[in-house]
Amino acid sequence: MAEGVKPDGDVPAAGEAIHLPEPSYLPVIVAFGTTIAVVGVVLNWYVFGLGVTVTVVAIARWIGQTREEIADLPLEHEH
């Protein structure tokens, strides 16, 4: 018989909750800014600067959002 499954078909409760990050558009914005920066290398410095600015701001917001989510997690977990 499978380990952890009782003969009557009941399955024991999970040991701990799984944390999944909130949905976010920030990875898409980082990709867009990086694309603009690469195109800007070919076109001119203004487009490159715009792409780098968008990328850096999006990465900073992404890091901030991740830090807030991690801060909300409980410090202790039980097994």
pLDDT the model gives residue 74: 75
Q: Which residues of 30-44 are buried (b: 16+ CB within 10 A; e: fewer)?
A: beebbebbeebeeee
Q: Which residues lie below 8 Å from residue 13, measured CB to CB, with a gap of 6+?
A: none
Per-block mean pLDDT, blocks of 10 residues, the chain (79 long): 58 68 92 98 96 98 91 72
**Residue 29, H or E segment:** helix 26-42
pLDDT the model gives residue 75: 75
- Distance in Å from the first CA to the final CA of the chain: 24
Dihedral sign of CA atoms 53, 54, 55, 58 in order? positive
pTM, rounded to two decimals: 0.70
